[in-house]
Amino acid sequence: MSFDVICFDCDSTLSKIEGIDELARRVGLGEEMSKLTDLAMNGIVPLEAVYERRLSLIQPDQNSINWLADLYIVEIVEGVKEVFAALLAQDKTVHIISGGLRQAILPLAKYLGLPESQVHAVDIYFNEDGRYDTYDLNSPLARTGGKAEICRQLLNAQDSLVMIGDGKTDMEAKDAGAYVLGFGGVVDRAIVRDLADFYTTEPSLLSVLEHIL
């Protein structure tokens, strides 16, 4: 199949980490946060039930977001750079759609040749001294069904869209008429295996290229 618009999740898809879990680990809350993230990604609890709670517990400051931005690039999934280069060389429209924190993801997007306008994630806000203030409470990506909302906005009548990701929230793009491709190369989730139109557990993202071009 060939798609006009190609969308990727970030955490456990483009990078091997879950950003919120790494921020939690940095302040000694790793185990508790990992459990919450896993419940949301497996569809056991709605994303909005854990989103605010995680951030209010972690209180990530500006320095920790900069640290996370570097870590996303260090922990990039095998084949990601090549996949993006191949898609952009064919003038494909590529987006990142993530429930992660936008400021931490933007440097990875830049590294992959993607403009900021094609990165959809949750903005985080800081006080003047760089301490955590709040996040974009109105962002659809901080709640269940948000990725489907973004896909609807990107999908016009003549376009076909594919969403590639590792979690239940990525599979919700089906509700917008998207083809969904489950990437289990970092985390293999039974619910994603069940819901995806195509599923792979290959560790390299190159394994998806033949299914999207």
| Residues with catalytic function | 9, 11
Q: Exposed, middle or buried, 128 (CB in 10 Å: 0-12/13-18/19+)?
A: exposed
- Mapping DSSP to helix (H, G, I), strand (E, B) and coil, where does residue 111 land? helix
State the helix-helix crossing angle for 30-41 and 47-58, rounded to 10 degrees. Answer: 160
- Mapping DSSP to helix (H, G, I), strand (E, B) and coil, where does residue 152 land? helix
State the helix-helix crossing angle for 102-111 and 62-74, rounded to 10 degrees. Answer: 40
Residue 138's CB is within 10 A of a number of other CB atoms, namely 9
The Cα angle at residue 196 between residues 36 and 96, in degrees rounded to 5:
65
Q: What does residue 212 show for φ and ψ, rounded to 5 degrees? A: -120, -5
The closest alpha carbon to 72, from 113, 108, 97, 115, belongs to: 108
Token pair 């955590």 is found at 132
